């Protein structure tokens, strides 16, 4: 089963949003959740357990839940507020050469509440989205397009770079064994560019263009 990123997502009662991230447990090499961003305002992103995915058809991910059930799932982004002290600038004035001009006067600091958004990624897991940078041992090779997952186990079998990589328009399909760590929106591979180019390929059947 393919898990396309930035793809349309449908609940049992209609279109609900788009796929933004997959959450991966790197210890067991398994996709645990899909992050779905709703189309309507306020465009909340929800963490959807992979068990709620029914299938992918024609580039659309079908969920087993309704829109109402989706809205009860945990949000991916949690907003917290921290206090910061900022200077308050008030206009003052002074005179010069017979005309008046304004000078800023800085008064004591004022405490304000600043919103901070935090991704709610379960401890020990990784969040990967479409466009995540992919680095071989000898440099940049492309960006993540999607993952191929065994539907029975939920385990990732391959990472797919479909376009925007060093080998033109063909699919570059990288086995899980070649994937290393993920840091700061970059997937690091354990192979070099020459090894990637010589990887065996298999047909990746898509029912969409």
Listed as ranges, residues in the chain with pLDDT below 50 are 95, 207-209
For residue 71, the model assigns a pLDDT of 93
Q: How far, in Å, CA of 48 to CA of 160, rounded? A: 22
pLDDT reported for residue 125: 65
pTM above 0.75, yes or no: no
| The pLDDT value given to residue 154 | 65
pLDDT at 164: 64
Q: What pLDDT is recorded for position 131? A: 81
* Per-residue confidence (pLDDT) for residue 174, from 0 to 100: 86
Q: How many CA atoms lie within 13 A of 188 on its CB side?
A: 7
Answer yes or no: are the C-beta atoms of 147 and 155 closer than 8 Å.
no
All domains in the chain, ordered by first residue: 2-78 (2.30.30.240), 82-110 (no CATH), 131-197 (2.30.30.240)
The predicted structure's pLDDT at residue 31: 80
């Amino acid at each position: 089963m393919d898990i396309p990123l930035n793809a349309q997502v449908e609940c049992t009662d209609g279109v609900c949003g788009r796929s933004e991230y997959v959450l991966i447990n790197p210890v067991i090499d398994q996709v645990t959740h899909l992050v779905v961003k709703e189309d309507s305002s306020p465009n909340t992103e929800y963490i959807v357990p992979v068990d709620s995915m029914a299938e992918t058809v024609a580039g659309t991910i079908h969920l087993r839940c309704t829109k109402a059930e989706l809205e009860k799932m945990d949000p991916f982004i949690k907003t917290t507020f921290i206090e910061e002290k900022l200077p308050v600038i008030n206009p003052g004035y002074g005179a010069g050469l017979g005309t008046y001009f304004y000078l800023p006067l800085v008064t004591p600091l004022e405490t304000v509440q600043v919103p901070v958004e935090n991704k709610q990624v379960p401890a020990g897991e990784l969040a990967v989205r479409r466009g995540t940078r992919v680095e071989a041992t000898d440099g940049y090779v492309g960006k993540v397009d999607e993952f191929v997952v065994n539907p029975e186990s939920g385990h990732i079998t391959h990472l797919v770079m479909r376009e925007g990589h060093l080998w033109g328009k063909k699919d570059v399909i990288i086995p899980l064994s070649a994937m290393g760590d993920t840091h700061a929106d970059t997937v690091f591979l354990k192979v070099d560019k020459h090894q990637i180019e010589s990887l065996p390929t298999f047909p990746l059947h898509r029912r969409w263009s």
